[in-house]
Amino acid sequence: MGSGIIGWQVISLCCIALWIVISSMLDLTQKLRSFTQSWVSNRVLSATPIILKIQKYQNKDLDALFSVLSCVVSVPFYTAFLPLLFWTGHCKLARQMTLLIAFCDYTGNVIKDVVSAPRPSSPPVRRVTATKDEEENAMEYGLPSSHTLNTVCLSGYLLHYILAYTESNDALVEFVGVTIACLVVGLIGLGRIYLGMHSLIDILAGLAFGLGILALWLSVSEYIDNFVVSGQNVVSFWATLSFLLLFAYPTPEFPTPSFEFHTAFNGVALGIVIGIHQTFNQFHHEDVARVFSPQLTFLAFIGRLLLGIPTILLVKFCSKALAKRILPILANTLGIPIISTRYIPALNGIPNDKKSDDIKQSGYFQKVLFFSKQTSFDVDTGIKFLQYAGLAWSVVDLVPSLFFHLGL
């Protein structure tokens, strides 16, 4: 039995590594882009009149409404919301949604950077970027709409969890739940078009990929959850998987922030898996106290927030500081030439910003092999990865330990 478990883990990791090699050697990214980019770009251009018709109804109230909705379903919101969900006692929901959003983020960003299709041209389209997060989103490619994809997956999984948790078989309740989920997805899609961030083809692609990912996740989520909480070689397997996923990423036509977003959530997933696997029986089993119960009152939950939030922010800062010190030393010891495009000014040895971006986003095999044509490797990727892994680990391991010792 044990050898069988180890066998499938080794085979799956080897398959990913082999895919990285084959994708690089055959230049699959460029081949796929040559088939899809032109067609998608034409659809985006032809949909401009539709966007302009929708934007004729622009006003401050709609700007505010759709900007708020976009923030509520953005990755930074999930990053802030998911720790709170862990601390309410709904641990299974929190870890499933964390891994699901990491999967959605990876899949959506890979497709974006493979296709490398533009967003609607502004002008003539009016683009509303009310937050710094939206400004960064506008720098990404368009298809698919990540907001739509993520909303489909997370609202669908949340509905599934609620119905399973309440053991409801009422058809009316299911109908109302599905209606609300569809309404939210529809508003998000309409809002992304209204704000000038996406065209219709981007929204439809986000909807289609989102439904596909949701269907896949609902079929495998229990297996993944059982593996995370009680499997063998979980930490070593997931650490290797996370490492490979840093390299199993396409090179976009021009640099975008998408790879950085993937790196952060890849680290989050690793930190969550390590913490959950190590402390499941202590802090994350199904019988833990849930908020509003006699064992976890609302005041106690507020105490958790006041302690937990500063703690994870401190861990995030310390993880970044340690990574900035350790990774350059490790790279020098191994003889790996490195450069930093952001975090370590002393290593920023390339004056041309475009060259720095190319190093950060060099795709597939070129990122990792010593016989690569690339002369330096961006240490910022490793720093960001370890920074967010440390933050996520603190959410499910360090902070719950503090809660336990302080009676929270």
Let me know if 198 is a catalytic residue.
yes
Peptide bond into 123 cis (omega under 30): yes
Q: What is the pLDDT of residue 362?
A: 46
Mean pLDDT, residues 239-256 taken together: 88
Q: What is the pLDDT of residue 359?
A: 43
Q: Yes or no: say if 33 and 118 are a contact pair by the CB < 8 Å rule.
A: no
Mean pLDDT, residues 272-278 taken together: 92
166-180 per-residue burial string, b: 16 or more CB within 10 A, e: under 16: eeeeeeeeeeebeee
What does the angle CA 336 – CA 342 – CA 345 come to, to the nearest 5 degrees? 75
Nearest-CA neighbor of 336 among 347, 328, 345, 325?
328
Q: In whole angstroms, what is the distance from residue 5 CA to residue 8 CA?
A: 6
Q: What is the pLDDT of residue 210?
A: 93
CA atoms within 13 A on the CB side of 362: 18
Domain ranges for the chain: 2-405
Q: What is the pLDDT of residue 332?
A: 82
pLDDT grade for 286, boundaries at 50, 70 and 90? confident
Q: What is the pLDDT of residue 75?
A: 66
List Cα–Cα distances, 371 to 19, 244, 247, 331, 356, in angstroms. Answer: 18, 18, 15, 16, 19
**SS3 annotation, 84-141:** HHHHCCCHHHHHHHHHHHHHHHHHHHHHHHHHCCCCCCCCCCCCCCCCHHHHHHHCCC
Distance of CA 169 to the CA centre of its chain: 33
Region of 196 please: left (phi>0), alpha (psi -120 to 50) or beta: left
End-to-end Cα, the chain, rounded Å: 40
Cα radius of gyration rounded to whole Å, the chain: 22
Q: In whole angstroms, what is the distance from residue 253 CA to residue 249 CA?
A: 13
Q: Which two tokens stand for residue 95?
A: 């870890």
Let me know if 284 is a catalytic residue.
no
pLDDT tens-digit map of 38-73: 999 998 898 888 888 888 888 888 888 888 888 877
Q: What is the pLDDT of residue 358?
A: 47
pLDDT tens-digit map of 378-407: 788 888 899 999 999 999 999 999 988 888
Distance of CA 226 to the CA centre of its chain: 21
Q: Which two tokens stand for residue 289?
A: 């106290």
Q: What is the pLDDT of residue 318?
A: 92
Which residues, 6 or more positions from 369, have their beta carbon under 8 angstroms from its beta carbon? none
pLDDT(284) > 70: yes
Beta bridge partners of 296: 293
Q: What percent of the chain has pLDDT over 70?
A: 91
pLDDT grade for 7, boundaries at 50, 70 and 90? confident
Q: In whole angstroms, what is the distance from residue 226 CA to residue 235 CA?
A: 14
**Cβ-based neighbour number of residue 85 at 10 Å:** 18
Which of 90, 147, 262, 277 is the catalytic position? 147
Average pLDDT, the chain: 84
pLDDT tens-digit map of 156-210: 999 888 888 777 777 888 888 889 999 999 999 998 998 888 899 999 999 999 9
pLDDT tens-digit map of 309-359: 899 989 989 998 998 888 888 888 877 787 777 777 776 754 444 444 544
Which residues, 6 or more positions from 158, have their beta carbon under 8 angstroms from its beta carbon? 93, 97
Peptide bond into 144 cis (omega under 30): yes
Q: In whole angstroms, what is the distance from residue 118 CA to residue 256 CA?
A: 12
Q: What is the pLDDT of residue 360?
A: 47
**Cβ-based neighbour number of residue 113 at 10 Å:** 25
Which of 198, 262, 277, 284 is the catalytic position? 198
Mean pLDDT, residues 276-303 taken together: 86
pLDDT grade for 112, boundaries at 50, 70 and 90? very high
